[in-house]
């Protein structure tokens, strides 16, 4: 209850960020940029104009066709480059990670692709969590004041079954994953619960997306990924995840 009172009763932080907060964010960006340059300079000389963040299925197919050439001979560089880009996108809430998940399936297959997506998505979410803990409060108050209040209330009410509730959020589109990543440290969700819910909760959606990436040419739109059956399955798993909490409340 103390955490809820602090968030609700405190004065909204100033925005934009302070010099210290901008310095922290800039240092993280610089680390990612240096990682990408390290990958670039270990690749053979070639035309890499095709390297850009995909914004459509057509962009993704072009990127897949070019990267397939390098994946077998430069597997480590491709993996490191993929991880750095995915984690960077998750850390700074850049849209388009669904295309990166599709690309993992197209390049590495289902098993390796799911493992790669779950690893990078969890690492990126964790990076966002810790960065938000340092500089995220002004951003969340500015962008999602109502969602933050709702999330704070729910977390405060479900402290005893918080892992189940966080799993439910990860498995269903109740709240955007981007918001969960950046708001969790502000509403005092412990990191171990955040990590477990993210790691486990992202597996079903990752499997659906990665498997679709294998048949990339058959997709007409991103909306084809989540048909009624897929969404219903995710909701069913989500309901199962919160059932123990509901049962314990009923008994009490």
pLDDT for 131-183, tens place per residue?
898 888 888 888 899 999 999 999 999 888 899 899 989 988 788 999 999 99
Statement: residue 190 has pLDDT above 70: yes
Joined tokens for residue 172 = 């269903």
Q: What is the dihedral of CA 6, 172, 237, 104, to 10 degrees?
A: -120
Burial class (CB in 10 A: 0-12, 13-18, 19+), 81: buried
Determine the straight-line distance between the first and last CA of the chain, rounded to whole angstroms.
20
Kindly indicate the confidence band of residue 192, based on its pLDDT and cuts at 50, 70 and 90: very high
Taking the model in full, what pTM does it have? 0.81
Q: Mind spelling out the 3-state secondary structure of 110-175?
A: HHHHHHHHHHHHHHHHHHHHHHHHHHCHHHHHHHCHHHHHHHHHHHHHCCCCHHHHHHHHHHCCCC
Query: Mean pLDDT, to the nearest integer, of 19-36?
Result: 78
Q: Of 235, 164, 242, 167, which is closest to residue 198 (Cα–Cα)?
A: 167
- The pLDDT of residue 2 is 46
Kindly indicate the confidence band of residue 14, based on its pLDDT and cuts at 50, 70 and 90: very low
Least confident piece of the model among 22-26, 77-81, 168-172, 229-233: 229-233
Query: Mean pLDDT, to the nearest integer, of 109-113?
Result: 94
Higher-confidence residue: 19 or 103?
A: 103
Query: Mean pLDDT, to the nearest integer, of 77-98?
Result: 90
Statement: residue 10 has pLDDT above 70: no
Query: Mean pLDDT, to the nearest integer, of 10-34?
Result: 68
Kindly indicate the confidence band of residue 242, based on its pLDDT and cuts at 50, 70 and 90: low
Would you say 37 and 80 are in contact if contact means Cβ atoms under 8 Å apart? no
Long-range contacts, 14-21 (Cβ 8 Å, 24+)? 14/138, 15/138, 15/139, 15/141, 15/142, 16/138, 17/135, 17/138, 17/139, 21/134, 21/135, 21/138
Statement: residue 220 has pLDDT above 60: yes
Q: Which residues contact 33 (CB under 8 A, 6 or more apart)?
A: none
- The pLDDT of residue 105 is 94
Joined tokens for residue 240 = 């199962």
Statement: residue 4 has pLDDT above 50: no
- The pLDDT of residue 34 is 86
Statement: residue 185 has pLDDT above 90: yes
What does the alpha-carbon distance between residue 161 and residue 249 come to, in Å, rounded to a whole number? Answer: 10
Joined tokens for residue 151 = 């999330």
* Residue the block writes with tokens 């050439």: 69
What does the alpha-carbon distance between residue 111 and residue 104 come to, in Å, rounded to a whole number? Answer: 10
């Amino acid at each position: 209850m103390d955490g809820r009172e602090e968030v609700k009763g405190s004065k909204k932080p100033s925005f934009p960020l302070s010099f210290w907060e901008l310095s922290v964010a800039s240092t993280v960006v610089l680390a990612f940029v240096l990682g990408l340059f390290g990958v670039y300079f270990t690749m053979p000389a070639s035309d890499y104009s095709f390297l850009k963040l995909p914004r459509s299925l057509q962009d993704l197919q072009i990127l897949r066709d070019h990267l397939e050439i390098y994946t077998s001979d430069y597997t480590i560089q491709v993996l490191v480059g993929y991880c750095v880009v995915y984690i960077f996108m998750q850390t700074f809430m850049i849209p388009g990670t669904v295309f990166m998940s599709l690309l993992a399936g197209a390049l590495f297959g289902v098993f390796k692709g799911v493992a790669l997506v779950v690893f990078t998505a969890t690492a990126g979410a964790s990076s966002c969590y810790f960065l938000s803990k340092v500089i995220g409060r002004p951003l969340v108050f500015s962008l999602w004041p109502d969602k933050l209040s709702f999330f704070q209330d729910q977390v405060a009410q479900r402290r005893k079954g918080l892992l189940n509730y966080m799993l439910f959020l990860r498995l269903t589109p109740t709240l955007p994953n981007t918001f969960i990543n950046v708001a969790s440290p502000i509403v005092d969700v412990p990191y171990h619960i955040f990590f477990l819910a993210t790691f486990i909760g992202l597996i079903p959606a990752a499997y659906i997306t990665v498997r679709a990436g294998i048949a990339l040419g058959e997709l007409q739109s991103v909306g084809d990924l989540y048909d009624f059956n897929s969404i219903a399955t995710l909701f069913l798993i989500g309901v199962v995840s919160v059932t123990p909490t509901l049962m314990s409340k009923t008994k009490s």
